[in-house]
Structure 1
Amino acid sequence: MDHLQYETKHSRDLKIKSHIFEVALTIMKEIGYDNLTVRKICEVADISTGKFYSLFKSKEELLGFYYVKALESFDDIIKENFTGMDIEEQLITFYINLCDSTAGLGLDFCRNFFNPKNEELNTTIFHNKVIETTNSYLENAIKNGLVISNGRTPFEVSNDLCVITKGVFFDWSANEGRYDMSRFMDGLLRRCLNGIL
């Protein structure tokens, strides 16, 4: 019974966190991250500041909820039927979907989340679902005969692709979102993967 209550509380808190995150994104798109306050988030989300602080330590930590939201989109992307696609197309499709979902969060979000001060982006410290997903695609391709050039491991290639992706997010943000991130990522990955696979 206690376990069931925990899951219910956990899922309820997850729904509230998701609601707060969505509200914060909407406000951020209107007034910008610098003008976003916890008080304003709570007012629009119709929650108390005490409830906010029971779920997030700060508005900066709220940005980190991106990873929880991203996991939802990863699950959707992973469920896509990649049957018949070669490994290059699988990887490109995965990363373009990731670009689309991330760009959809808005320029101000990306500018504030994908910055060097955000320790959550350090893949040597934090578990990274992007690397894990890419690694699984590559390992499956190796089982089917893929040979990665220069003796590189699937993990090394996955890490490289993750770093490239973070670089694209950062560059897109620094350029005020003036180009089509997905189209840029498509060309970049095709050039990179051509030398790896």
Structure 2
Amino acid sequence: MSTARKGKNMSYAQRRQAQARQTERNILQAALTLMRERGFDKVSIRDICKQAGITTGAFYHHFPSKESLLNKGFAPLDDYMEAALRGHEADEPAERLGHILSAYARFMEEEGGELTGRYYVRRITDPTTQSMDSSRYTLRAMVECFRQAQREGILASGRSPEWVADFCYRHFRGVVIDWVLHNYSYRLLPKMEEDYQLFTGFFQKTAAKERT
């Protein structure tokens, strides 16, 4: 096969991939919009297809079920967190951790309590789902906060930065689940910010400043 032919085929393949990604984004956007308005159970696949302007066959080409949308629906969390932290790279570790947790809470509140609850139920009941993916941006950003604190000699815990980040992440994920279990009866962001004050003790300088 000639080089020109290969280039043409690659260009076609790339266009198809781009179209597929756009269709998937359209489906997700349509589904999340409808689910926030009506609730998960009151939205059908037919409703989603109509909103997205696609056929049911196109839907099933991208997603095996309505429930499978939940995992993809929360995938933008990494991009959301990265955008929220942009411009805070030079902040002190304790301040940057506060920004991470605030952005995490805002994302969950914007997604809505019902969808967040459905997402966690799916993760808990799916045996192939990892409890925590260390490659995800949110956890990596938290690890880097504590690594910087360790480099600066202000990490109070005798544990590794990875252990402390994992501990914090598990706690605040638990706060989100508690929020869902209480039927979203309280604001998540203020609760996160309140609990965060307990975790500033991991930073020696921060704790010292607060006592003075």
TM value normalised by structure 1: 0.86
Root mean square deviation, CA, Å: 2.2
Q: How many residues align?
A: 193
Q: Which runs of 5+ in 2 are unaligned?
A: 1-6, 204-212
Quote how far apart the aligned CAs of 1:118 are. 5.0
Please report how far the alpha carbon of residue 5 of structure 1 lies from its aligned counterpart in structure 2 after TM superposition. 4.5
- 2:10 and 2:165 map into 1 onto residues whose CA distance is 36
Residue in structure 1 matched with residue 108 of structure 2 by the alignment: 102
Question: Which of the residues 102, 120, 131 maps onto 1:122?
Answer: 131
1:90 to 92, 96, 104: 96
Distance 1:138 1:63, change over 3 A: same
Give the letter aligned to residue 173 of structure 1.
V
Larger RCO, structures 1/2 (Cα 8 Å, 6+ apart): 1
Q: What is the aligned partner in structure 2 of residue 174 from structure 1?
A: 181
Q: Which residue of 2 aligns with 1:66?
A: 73
Contact 1:111/1:170 (<8 A) preserved? yes
Question: What is the rounded CA distance, in whole Å, between the counterparts of 1:5 and 1:136 in structure 2?
Answer: 40
* Partner Cα separation in structure 2 for residue 145 and residue 6 of structure 1: 51
Which range moved further: 9-18 or 65-74? 9-18
Rate the CA distance shift 1:12–1:154 in 2: closer, same or farther, 3 A. farther
Q: Distance in 1 between matches of 2:109 and 2:180?
A: 9
Change (3 A) 1:27 1:67: closer
Measured after TM superposition, the shift of residue 4 of structure 1 is: 4.9
Aligned partner of 1:147 among 134, 155, 173: 155
Which amino acid in structure 2 is aligned with residue 80 of structure 1?
A: G
Q: TM-score, normalised by structure 2?
A: 0.80
In 2 relative to 1, CA 175–80 (structure 1 residues): closer, same or farther, beyond 3 Å?
A: farther
Listed one character per residue, the Cα deviations across residues 31-81 of structure 1 (whole Å, up to 9, x for unaligned) are: 211222212111111111111111112112111013431122022023232
Q: Which amino acid aligns with 1:141?
A: A
Q: Mind listing any 5+ residue stretches in structure 1 that lack a counterpart? A: none
SS of residue paired to 2:155 = coil
CA deviation digits over 1:89-123, x for unaligned, max 9?
21011111111012101122112112332554611
Asked if 1 retains the 8 angstrom alpha-carbon contact of 2:32 and 2:73, the reply is no
* CA pair 126-79 structure 1, distance change in 2 beyond 3 A: closer
Residues of 1 paired with 2:69 and 2:134: CA distance? 17
